[in-house]
């Protein structure tokens, strides 16, 4: 019956609350989500209707051409994607917190059953006590976040076009008219000998696509992980066919322009078998040292498959248009758009349907419990969250108690921050830091076999740039499996943001509560009345929320550049065809270092919040609705009149009919701090 009478006293329960308090915040979140939705839809329509590139197998092409340009486009698109992802995540978290906040008609029956609810923080326990409609909206917003974190970053992919090429060693008079060349004399059998023969005849007839290079230029041009702007190459020796050879063609090898040794043919090579020709160095190759030697004037000599060494006097390199691409996945974009649309609809419905006054902030709860005192918490003005859990919840009767907090400050986080969230936050931090640290160590050890692993060298290799060394061998793997694997860290980071957000929310709520023990303050209400402050944020001001969102966006983007997916497309030497693209997982040590630095910064910040000291002259209620209610039994005859004034919590003197001192909120100037050893009780008997 108590719950019914209190609901009857709620004269403004049916008052519309549009465009006030948290409704304005949710509308702002919905607006951001709708803007992101329009951008995603517009991007998808543009990409699918682009006349220059057709969508094939749900994979479309946004750009094809320069590899450097495709890297820049991919980098900036991923930066935009991570900004959008952070907006969707923070907007979802804000709306979910509002949806899970109890209404006045929900909190009274819960207290009557000795169940307490969370106020001012993101939580799950309230879902079992709120209306099913809001619970379904909360779940829909949460569930649509999972595909976004797993897939959104892979909506845009980069494809690296690399050229396989043939290196042909010829005599100095090979390109002269009438020179004799016998292909079969060089290659007894090769499946593409007809293509090679016709290609060589074409090269001899017209060399306009070839560029003449000296040995130093040639080595520099082909000393790369991936050959993309050049392909087939003639190495011109110092020998003529008339002097020591009766054939202008001396040797020919097939080089796969991709791999950890794609440039080792510059030192030496040999034929693997009679059908396929691969570069197989006889001895360790150091092309960088070779470049230094040739640049300084030393000769460039190559050992032929016959064992003979010849000196290279020049080169002819075939120019080729770069075929790197920026791709997008139509399937992923459709999933992202659907999740985006559901979020927008849920947020709009939340504003339209949630018209009952809701206890979203600490000020909302204090305002309500002062106006309509809760009989279930009467007589326990000293109650904190621990007391509510251990005694009030079980319905035990209470007696007057002494104030035993001697210290001026305490570590409130132990009461303020729920233990499960604390463990989860630390666990996620541990996963991120250990995974990043182990990955960095393994990456440096692996790259150290080939490169200098100094900071400058790693910086030059860049963020999110694939190379033949910095790769994770997970072959064979499908593109879908690679997408899920590469985005798994993004999901962990999203959960870390939510728990980190909860930590700051709890800390700021404890800070706001502690201010009432020092001086008089006005209440911060979502739908304020006269003398009260309005708010467009919940428990976390923008001075905290914006840096936290920025940190989250940077971590997501750096992670996308630390572990990334690239499609390798291999083009054949004599055909304008490519073998089917295959996924490669690359990593960037310098990006991992930045992830570690930001992760440690976030961990230190969390530790600072965890051990921050707050005044101990007030009960540590945390987000517990019953503990807040216990502190709000005012001594004034008409407590609803004081909610519009500046309030302070503390010792307001003895109750006339009990003779025992009382702790509560008051607008009077005579409020003092609780006295150690003093006995306190509420302003009435429990149950009255």
* Residue 561 in domain: no
* Residue 150 in domain: no
- pLDDT confidence of residue 13: 40
Crossing angle of helices 67-100/330-353, nearest 10°? 30
- pLDDT confidence of residue 12: 46
DSSP reduced 3-state for 404: coil
Confidence of residue 338 (pLDDT cuts 50, 70, 90): very high
Q: What is the pLDDT of residues 111-170, one digit of tens each?
A: 888 888 888 887 788 888 888 999 999 999 999 988 888 888 888 888 888 888 888 888
DSSP reduced 3-state for 383: coil
Rounded CA-CA distance 202/192 in Å is 15
Confidence of residue 30 (pLDDT cuts 50, 70, 90): very high
* Residue 85 in domain: no
Q: DSSP of 59-88, one letter per residue?
A: EEEEEEE-HHHHHHHHHHHHHHHHHHHHHH
Using the predicted structure, report yes or no on whether residue 416 has a pLDDT greater than 60: no
Kindly state the percentage of the chain with pLDDT values over 90. Answer: 7
Tally of structural domains, the chain: 1
The candidate with the shortest Cα–Cα distance to 200, out of 246, 232, 242, is: 232
Rounded CA-CA distance 659/656 in Å is 6
- pLDDT confidence of residue 549: 83
Answer positive or negative: Cα dihedral of 26, 32, 35, 41.
Answer: negative
Which residue would you say has higher pLDDT here, 9 or 437?
Answer: 437
Q: What is the pLDDT of residues 351-377, one digit of tens each?
A: 888 778 888 888 888 988 988 888 888
* Residue 183 in domain: yes
Rounded CA-CA distance 430/442 in Å is 18
The range of the structural domain enclosing residue 192 comes to: 160-325
- pLDDT confidence of residue 409: 52
- pLDDT confidence of residue 413: 44
**Mean pLDDT within 258-264:** 62
* Residue 470 in domain: no
- pLDDT confidence of residue 199: 55
* Residue 133 in domain: no
Q: What is the pLDDT of residues 228-242, one digit of tens each?
A: 888 888 888 887 666
- pLDDT confidence of residue 281: 43
Strand stretches in 164-260, DSSP E? 165-170, 210-213, 230-237, 249-255
* Residue 201 in domain: yes
**Mean pLDDT within 337-356:** 90
Using the predicted structure, report yes or no on whether residue 527 has a pLDDT greater than 60: yes
Using the predicted structure, report yes or no on whether residue 191 has a pLDDT greater than 50: no
Using the predicted structure, report yes or no on whether residue 441 has a pLDDT greater than 80: yes
- pLDDT confidence of residue 346: 93
**Mean pLDDT within 371-400:** 81
Using the predicted structure, report yes or no on whether residue 190 has a pLDDT greater than 60: no
Which are the contacts of 502, defined by CB distance < 8 A and separation ≥ 6?
A: 121, 122, 417, 418, 421, 425
Q: What is the pLDDT of residues 475-495, one digit of tens each?
A: 667 777 888 888 888 888 888
* Residue 449 in domain: no
Using the predicted structure, report yes or no on whether residue 262 has a pLDDT greater than 70: no
C-alpha angle 363-368-371 in degrees, rounded to nearest 5: 125
Mean predicted lDDT score pLDDT of the chain: 77
Residues 112 and 376: beta-carbon distance below 8 Å: yes
């Amino acid at each position: 019956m108590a719950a019914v009478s209190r609901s009857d006293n709620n004269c403004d329960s049916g008052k519309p609350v549009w465009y006030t308090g948290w409704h304005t915040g949710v509308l702002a979140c919905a607006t951001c989500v709708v803007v992101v939705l329009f951008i995603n839809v517009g991007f998808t329509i543009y990409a699918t209707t682009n006349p220059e590139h057709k969508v094939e197998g749900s994979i479309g092409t946004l750009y094809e051409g320069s590899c450097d340009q495709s890297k820049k486009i991919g980098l900036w698109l991923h930066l935009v994607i991570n900004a959008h992802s952070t907006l969707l995540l923070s907007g979802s978290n804000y709306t979910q917190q509002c949806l899970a906040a109890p209404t006045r008609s929900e909190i009274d029956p819960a207290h009557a059953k000795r169940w307490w609810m969370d106020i001012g923080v993101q939580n799950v326990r309230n879902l079992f006590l709120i209306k099913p409609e809001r619970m379904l909206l909360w779940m829909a917003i949460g569930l649509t976040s999972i595909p976004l974190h797993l897939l959104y970053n892979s909506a845009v992919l980069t494809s690296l076009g690399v050229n396989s090429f043939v290196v042909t060693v010829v005599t100095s008079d090979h390109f002269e008219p009438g020179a004799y060349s016998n292909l079969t004399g060089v290659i007894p059998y090769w499946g593409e000998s007809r293509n090679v023969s016709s290609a060589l005849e074409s090269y001899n007839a017209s060399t306009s696509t070839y560029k003449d290079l000296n040995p130093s230029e040639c080595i520099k041009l082909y000393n790369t992980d991936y050959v993309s702007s050049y392909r087939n190459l003639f190495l011109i020796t110092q020998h003529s066919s008339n002097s020591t050879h009766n054939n202008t063609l001396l040797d020919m090898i097939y080089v796969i322009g991709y791999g950890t040794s794609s440039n080792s043919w510059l030192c030496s090579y040999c034929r693997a078998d009679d059908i396929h020709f691969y570069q197989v160095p006889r001895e360790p190759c150091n092309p960088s040292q070779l470049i230094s030697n040739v640049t300084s004037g030393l000769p460039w000599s190559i050992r032929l498959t016959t064992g003979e060494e010849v000196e290279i006097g020049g080169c002819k390199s075939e120019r080729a248009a770069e075929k790197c691409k920026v791709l997008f996945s139509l399937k992923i974009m459709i999933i992202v758009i659907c999740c985006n649309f559901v979020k927008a609809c849920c947020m709009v419905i939340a504003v339209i349907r949630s018209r009952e006054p809701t206890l979203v902030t600490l000020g909302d709860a204090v305002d309500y419990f002062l106006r309509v005192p809760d009989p279930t918490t009467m007589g326990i003005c000293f109650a904190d969250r621990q007391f509510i859990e251990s005694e009030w919840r079980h319905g035990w009767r209470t007696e007057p108690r002494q104030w035993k907090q001697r210290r001026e400050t305490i570590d409130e986080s132990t009461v303020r921050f729920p233990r499960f969230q604390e463990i989860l936050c630390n666990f996620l931090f541990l996963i991120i830091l250990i995974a990043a640290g182990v990955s960095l160590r393994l990456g440096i050890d692996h790259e150290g076999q080939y490169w200098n692993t100094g900071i400058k060298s790693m910086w030059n290799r860049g963020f999110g740039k694939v190379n033949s060394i910095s790769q994770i061998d997970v072959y064979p793997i499908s593109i879908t499996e690679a997408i899920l694997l590469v985005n798994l860290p993004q999901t962990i980071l999203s959960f870390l943001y939510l728990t980190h957000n909860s930590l700051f929310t709890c800390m700021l709520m404890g800070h706001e509560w502690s201010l009432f023990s020092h001086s008089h303050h006005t209440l911060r209400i979502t739908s304020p009345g006269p003398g009260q402050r309005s708010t467009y944020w919940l428990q976390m001001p923008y001075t905290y929320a914006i840096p936290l969102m920025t940190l989250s966006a940077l971590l997501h983007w750096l992670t996308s550049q630390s572990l990334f997916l690239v499609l390798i497309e291999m083009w054949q030497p004599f055909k304008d065809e490519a073998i089917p693209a295959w996924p490669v997982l690359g990593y960037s040590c310098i990006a991992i270092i930045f992830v570690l630095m930001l992760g440690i910064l976030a961990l230190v910040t969390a530790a600072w919040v965890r051990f921050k000291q707050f005044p101990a002259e007030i009960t540590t209620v945390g987000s517990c609705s019953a503990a807040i209610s216990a502190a709000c039994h005012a001594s004034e005859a008409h407590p609803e009149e004081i909610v519009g004034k500046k309030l302070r919590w503390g010792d307001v003197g003895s109750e006339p009919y009990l003779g025992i001192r009382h702790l509560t909120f008051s607008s009077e100037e005579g409020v003092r701090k609780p006295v150690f050893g003093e006995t306190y009780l509420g302003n009435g008997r429990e149950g009255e």
